[in-house]
A and B are shown apart, each in its own frame.
Chain A
Amino acid sequence: MKGFGIHIEGLRKRYGEGDAAVDALKEVNMTVAPGEVVGLIGPSGSGKSTLLKCLGAVIEPSAGRMTLGDEVIFEDGWKIPDLRALRRDRIGFVFQAPYLIPFLDVTDNVALLPMLAGKPNGEARKRANELLDALDVGHRAKANPSQLSGGEQQRVAIARALANQPPVILADEPTAPLDSERALSVVRILNDMAQQFRTAIIVVTHDEKIIPTFKRIYHIRDGKTFEERGLGAA
């Protein structure tokens, strides 16, 4: 088990050059410990998505430092060579919609990541079934994603995010399409998984139902983050 957490310091992102340059991120600092779930909240245009893309190693920050566990990922224009492998092995993603692969059954949707990482099919499926059982969707292992309810699909998406035991999971509004009960259930699951697998989880959300559940919340406004103590027990 890795479980090193994520730490970013002075992260900046500038789009364009010269007069047309836009500073989407101006000064972002954030630390999430292993096993911790934090919220990331901000209005539209505040830089949430840009930050999420930097955290997800999809785009490169212009400046600043980001470490995943004890490994430096970005530092002032430098980046590790293989961001694709980093995303595959060390970052889990949960999206607003589950975005499961429709032509794979539930087990293979989860097992795909370990397979992509080079694990044998049998081992990858065993791992997938363990996670599906842990998330209480093991009985739907052979179903197609279209046969699952919204809540079940989101749990499968969480299982997929955990499949390679990443030290960090980025959840982009994971409860947006769910009703209150299911939304809180997803948050509970994320908390349980964070504890169980010592994973640092960052939840980007607008969902007022779940905001009170976070122990720590990062607000982002005009490209800058501000930390706030939350009300939740997470």
Chain B
Amino acid sequence: MISLAGRDILHSCSKFVLTGIGLGLLIGVTLSMAGIYRGMVDDAKALLNNSGADIWVVQQETQGPYAESSSLRDDVYRALLALPGISRAANVTYLTMQVRLGNTDVRAMVVGFEPGQPGEPGYLVAGRQITRSHYEAVADVKTGFQLGDTIRIRRHDYRVVGLTRRMVSSGGDPMVFIPLKDAQEAQFLKDNDAILNERARTTANPSLNRPGVPGLLDAILASQNANHNVNAVLVQIAPGAEPEQLASEIRRWKHLQAFTRAQMEEILVSKLIATSAKQIGMFLVILAIVSAAIVAFIIYTMTLGKIREIAVLKLIGTRNRTIAGMILQQAMGLGLIGFMVGKTVATLWAPFFPKFVLLEPGDAVRGFIAVMLICALASTLAIRVALRVDPATAIGG
């Protein structure tokens, strides 16, 4: 038996292909939306992997440093290093801000780290790691910065000496790594006018500026201008140590919050990007409904255009299931063309998205099954119409 659906598709090839391309663009958008969600999850995991930490120690009663702000004194790491089972601990700061290059701003997460310690960019694609104590930076390639560029962060200029890749915040902003001291200053130090103003206020306060207590005012002013805070301490544990046990010891004895990798992943994926995930999920549902409506409308219209042929087919003894199969196959054929186009365009345009789009093969398989199911469902309306066609209409009268 010949394939009636196949012959019809070949006969109206251009119509099918054009419709398939239209549907494919819609499917491409759907796959891209799924890819954006996957990219967000992957960014979050990359953020954790790239930090090189086993435990994140942050301010008590916060879920920092990524989901909430957190502030710790920068000597906390010393106390942590004294705990058995901890091999390395290092201060780190995170600050999302506009980094200036010439006349343009780039949204980036500025990371302050100590060279050679956890928090350092794991690998470089060009240039070198930071070797000087100040005013050097390593940037993710997504910032668009080049080696040798001079970028401005707050009051200081930094020279880009290295480029790295896939170093992004949970929000997808590329990272710029600078020395910890510079980052602390950028994050916590007030501007000159504010410092001047604060000094004047303190000096004018008689309880702080006591004539009989020499050195008090100077000490107070020095403490006001010092910046000894960091956002988190990244901890690497010794081989054989149990991260959950260490984290609970830190929580109990150091009066700090400590998260293991699993807990931090839970915060990032289930809390930080939960709203975005719901938003994308909603879009996916709407796109699926729109795709189904389009396929149903197209197949329905095509079936209406073949009512006479269907009546003739029924009159000459074609089984209902053959006719239903023809319409179903056409819908599936349309879905197949649409999916192929959609997958191709999603793959082609994914690199041009500003944030990472991760197209997973598993999502493609699930998408394909969903498209086929949607097409099968969408064809039921047309099949219903076709099966209702009276073969007598071919005879007329």
Contact = CB atoms under 8 A, between A and B. Distances in A.
Interface of A: 48-50, 52-53, 56, 58-59, 84-89, 93, 95-96, 99, 101-104, 108, 111-113, 115-117, 121, 144, 160, 172
Given A49-B395, A101-B309, A87 B7 contact: no
Contacts of B322: 116
B216 interface: no
Interface stretch (B83-91, B111-119, B313-321, B356-364): B313-321
A116 B1 contact: yes
A188 B396 CA distance: 24
B190 to A, nearest CB: 78
A216 B394 CA distance: 26
Contact of B395 (A58, A104, A113, A160): A58
Contacts of A96: 396
Contact of A115 (B1, B8, B314, B392): B1
B392 A116 contact: no
A121 B7 contact: no
Complex A-B, nearest 3 residue pairs according to Cβ-Cβ distance, in ascending order: A88-B317, A49-B397, A103-B11
Nearest to B317: A88
Interface string B182-198: 00000000000000000
B296 to A, nearest CB: 21
B315 A58 contact: yes
A121 B7 CA distance: 15
Nearest to A55: B395
Interface centre among B8, B315, B394 (most CB of A within 10 A): B315
Nearest to A92: B316
B82 interface: no
B387 to A, nearest CB: 13
A87 B397 contact: no
Given A103-B7, A104-B2, A112-B2, A172 B316 contact: no
5 contacts: A56-B315, A93-B316, A102-B11, A116-B317, A116-B322
B138 to A, nearest CB: 63
Nearest to B393: A58
Contacts, number: 82
B315 A87 contact: yes
Contact of B12 (A85, A103, A108): A103
Contacts of A53: 392, 395, 397
A108 B392 CA distance: 23
B257 to A, nearest CB: 69
Contacts of B8: 103
A97 B318 CA distance: 19
Contacts of A86: 317
Given A87-B391, A111-B2, 4 more contacts: A85-B317, A95-B395, A99-B309, A103-B11
A48 B397 contact: yes
A84 B396 CA distance: 18
Contacts of B395: 49, 52-53, 56, 58, 93, 95, 172
A220 to B, nearest CB: 12
Nearest to A87: B317
Interface of B: 1-2, 4, 7-8, 10-12, 308-309, 312-319, 322, 390-392, 394-397
Nearest to B9: A103
Contact of B315 (A89, A93, A101): A93
Given A112-B2, A121-B2, A93 B394 contact: yes
B1 to A, nearest CB: 5
A101 B314 CA distance: 12
Contacts of A48: 397
Contacts of B391: 58, 87
Given A108-B2, A116-B318, A95 B313 contact: no
Given A50-B397, A89-B317, A102 B309 contact: yes
Contact of B316 (A104, A111, A116): A116
A52 B390 CA distance: 14
Nearest to B308: A99
A26 to B, nearest CB: 17
B313 A52 contact: no
Contacts of A104: 2, 4, 7
B287 to A, nearest CB: 31
A148 to B, nearest CB: 15
Contacts of B7: 103-104, 108
A102 B396 CA distance: 19
A108 B384 CA distance: 26
Contact of B312 (A52, A99, A108, A117): A99
Contacts of A117: 317
A20 B322 CA distance: 37
B134 to A, nearest CB: 75
B392 A59 contact: yes
B15 to A, nearest CB: 11
A111 to B, nearest CB: 8
Contacts of A112: 2, 316
Contacts of A99: 308-309, 312, 394
A217 B392 CA distance: 24
A116 B2 CA distance: 9
Nearest to A85: B317
Contacts of A93: 312, 315-316, 394-395
Nearest to A58: B392
A88 B7 CA distance: 21
A103 B392 contact: no
A101 B313 contact: yes
Contacts of B315: 56, 58, 87, 93
Nearest to A49: B397
Contact of B397 (A52, A84, A108): A52
Contacts of A108: 2, 7
